[in-house]
Structure 1
Amino acid sequence: MIQSTGVTHTDKSAQENPVKYRDNFTPVIITGMSGAGLSTAARVLEDLGWYVAHNIPPQIILEFIDMCAREDSPVDKVAVVCDVRSREFRGSLTQVVSELRDKQLDPTVLFLEARDEVLIKRFDNVRRTHPLQGSQTLQVGIERERTVLSPVKEDASVVIDTSDLSVHDLRRAIESSFRTIATRTQHVTIESFGFKHGSPRDADFVVDVRFLPNPFWVPELRPFRGVDKPVSDYVLSQKGAEEFLNNFVDMLKDMLPGYRHEGKNFITIGVGCTGGHHRSVAVSEELAKRIADQTTLDVSVVHRDINRH
């Protein structure tokens, strides 16, 4: 018996000749909040060589990915965009992901989100209504969507908060996360930020480096940033910096087997200071260098607030 998307039938030839899937085939499912950048994410993956199918109903995703994964398929990388407009979105998409995992076609689910006020501004700028607001307000539509998508986000492989990202920032974030996806290498993104602009909501854990002296109060260092050698040398030479870096790398190495066992191949670490210009930037750069040297992880760095005032 072969079961697919709720339809059951007998196929003797399929039993005698089991389906063969290509090695390292990793489908991507792009989903998330309306207005959070799903279309941009799709274009980025298209530019990276993915065949992207837009707004396929969840019931069809399983069959589509199964077809693309076969050894004789001309498509080697596939992504599908599935948003809240699809019927029975919540139950259907989570079921599809579960069934793909049962087939050893474990998908990477990319979930994009943004703060309510940012989504409202984006909808206002393009003069669109939210697909779930009906005759009520835009805020009501956003709240309904968050409720519907909550379990999907909870199980997502990669969550990116686009609230403070430009289109170019989002492109870089996606490119850094997905360039090694076919090898199933664990990927770590280290994101520096300023607490005065808010903590990154998509970080798996956040560290605070405000225990280090602030180069902002050193007149000759103030114009520079943490990527500049004078600031980097100053920050990393402070008491406690070396101990923090060593202890953090050791802690992460102890955590990696557990992350891998749980199927978590994308890890985001937020490193914060006051403004996101000096300490967090310098520490993030050094942390990325040490993690890359001492592990087999693919590591990238994003400086969210380096140019913000």
Structure 2
Amino acid sequence: MHRGVNDVTVAGTGDSTTPESEQVPELVIISGMSGAGRSTAAKCLEDLGWFVVDNLPPSLIPTMVELGARSQGAVARIAVVVDVRGRRFFDNLVAALADLDQAGVQRRTVFLEASDDALVRRFESVRRPHPLQGDGRITDGIEKERDLLRELRGDADLVIDTSALNVHELRAKMDAQFAGEDEPELRATVMSFGYKYGLPVDADLVVDCRFLPNPHWVPELRNHTGQDEEVAKFVFEQPGAQEFLDRYTDLLQLIAAGYRREGKRYVTLAVGCTGGKHRSVAVAERLAQRLGAHGVETVLVHRDMGRE
């Protein structure tokens, strides 16, 4: 989708062409909802050695990339934090990203998401207005921002829902995706969840395990989880369970190959059952193992396993 080259002319920065001896830096755009954790995500990348620029006007992003290419390797990775202050600002961002894509600059977009309730609580806790609410309510500003960011969110390489995350958990998610010297072709987050607690908003793919009998109704299994051997054995002894696992693994291999071709580096696979404690956990564990065996770097998260 976004492929990198070493010989690049960036629109809006003049007619000069970056010599082949100069390496175009990696670029990450950090955006998302106000109050969702953009600053924390940026600080994490800064701690990992990225050159981070906060609130850079979008029209200057191509210039920043060109300057990084001329730094003789001193600025090899750039992260730019952008927010949306209005329609014109967002239009400038879209135009700047289009220039980068046309020039073949490798870029990735990280989008920080959160529920309306979580965002309202955060703004109220710091007693600050939403930047787009004007004379209205906080929820009015959130609604305007969601509408402005809809296209950017849809094009994002990585969406992180911070509704239930604290600062340390968000940093852990960023570390899992960006730490390490060797960047893998594809990283996957496999997340078990309970439908009764809501769908994960950052999921790219959703698997529904509710067609399998629920161990919750087996008294000796109720207080265990899908990580326990007796629960996993019960789940995969059910008719269709093993066949489902095999066929979905084949499907994931097909999808993963397509993501690699399109330059998508991150995917979140959400595996759900009613409560997120038994079936989804067992299936998520097996799918994560199989993805890892096929060369996909995988992070396993059990969102709702500890809930009552």
Query: Conserved in 1, the CA contact under 8 Å of 2:191 and 2:300?
Result: yes
Q: Distance in 1 between matches of 2:93 and 2:274?
A: 40
CA contact (8 A) 2:191 2:271 kept: yes
User: 2:5: which partner in 1?
Assistant: none
8 Å contact kept, 1:54–1:80: yes
- Bigger mean CA deviation after superposition, 272-281 or 92-101: 92-101
Using the TM superposition, give the Cα deviation of residue 114 of structure 1 relative to its aligned residue in structure 2, in angstroms: 1.3
1:124: which partner in 2? 124
Q: Is the 8 A contact 2:87 2:148 kept in 1?
A: no
Aligned-pair distance for 1:226?
1.9
- 1:56 and 1:87 mapped to 2: Cα distance? 16
Aligned to 1:308: 307
Q: Deviation per CA, 1:271-291, whole angstroms, max 9, x where unpaired? A: 001111111111101101012
Q: Report the Cα distance in structure 1 between the residues aligned to 2:66 and 2:307, rounded to whole angstroms.
A: 45
- State the AA in 2 paired with 1:196: K
8 Å CA contact 2:188–2:298 kept in 1: the answer is yes
76-85 or 194-203, which moves further after superposition?
A: 76-85
Listed as ranges, the matches of 1:30-179 within 5 Å are: 30-70=30-70, 72-85=72-85, 88-179=88-179
List runs of 5+ in structure 2 lacking aligned partners: 1-7
Q: Could you say what secondary structure the match of 2:202 adopts?
A: coil
Q: Supply the distance in 1 between the matched residues of 2:118 and 2:188 (Cα, whole angstroms).
A: 26
Normalising by structure 2, we get a TM-score of 0.89
Instruction: Give the conservation status (yes or no) of the 8 Å contact 1:55–1:86.
Output: no
RMSD: 2.4
Task: Tell me the alpha carbon deviations over residues 211-257 of structure 1, each in whole angstroms, 9 at most, x when there is no partner.
Answer: 22222222332222222333223323332221111000111122233
Q: Whole-Å Cα distance in 1 between the matches of residues 125 and 114 of structure 2?
A: 15
Counterpart contact for 2:226–2:232, Cα < 8 Å: yes
**Structure-2 change in CA distance of 1:275 and 1:21 (3 Å):** farther
Report the 3-state secondary structure (helix = DSSP H, G, I; strand = E; otherwise coil) of the residue aligned with 1:213. Answer: coil
Name the SS of the counterpart of 2:35 in structure 1: coil
Distance 2:246 2:9 in 1: 51
> SS at 1:211's partner residue?
coil
Distance in 1 between the 2:56 and 2:11 partners? 14
Structure 1 CA distance for aligned equivalents of residues 226 and 169 of structure 2 = 18
**Correspondence 1:5-24 to 2 at 5 A:** 6=12, 8=14, 14=16, 18=19, 20-22=21-23
SS in 2 for 1:183: coil
Counterpart CA distance in 2 for 1:275 and 1:93 is: 41
Instruction: Quote how far apart the aligned CAs of 1:177 are.
Output: 2.4
Q: Report the identity percentage.
A: 46
Aligned: 1:242 with 2:247: no
SS in 1 for 2:26: coil
Query: Partners in 2 of 1:34 and 1:214 — Cα distance?
Result: 39
The code of the aligned residue for 1:131 comes to P
CA apart distance, 1:151: 1.5
1:56–1:82 CA contact under 8 A, matched in 2: yes
How far off is 1:81 after superposition?
0.8
Contact 2:185–2:265 under 8 Å retained in 1: yes
C-alpha separation between the residues in 1 aligned to 2:228 and 2:78?
40
Correspondence for 2:4:
none
2:261 & 2:297 partners in 1: Cα distance? 17
Q: Structure 1 residue 262 and structure 2 residue 262: aligned?
A: yes
State the SS of the aligned residue for 2:73. coil
The 10-residue stretch of structure 1 (118-127 or 174-183) with the greater mean CA deviation from structure 2:
174-183
Query: In the alignment, is the contact (CA less than 8 A) between 1:5 and 1:59 conserved in 2?
Result: no
> Per the alignment, in what secondary structure is the counterpart of residue 268 of structure 1?
strand
Alignment gaps of 5+ in structure 1: none
Q: Secondary structure at the match of 2:221?
A: coil
Aligned to 1:299, the other structure's residue is in SS state strand
8 Å CA contact 1:187, 1:299 repeated in 2: yes
Shift of the 86–58 alpha-carbon distance from structure 1 to 2, 3 Å rule, reads farther
CA distance in 1, matches of 2:184, 2:59: 26
In 2: Cα distance, 1:28 partner to 1:199 partner: 27
Cα distance between partner residues in 2 of 1:89 and 1:37: 20
CA contact (8 A) 2:10 2:66 kept: no
CA shift in 2, pair 1:297/1:69, >3 Å: farther
The CA distance in 2 between the partners of 1:238 and 1:22, in whole Å, is 54
Aligned residue in 2 for 1:299: 298
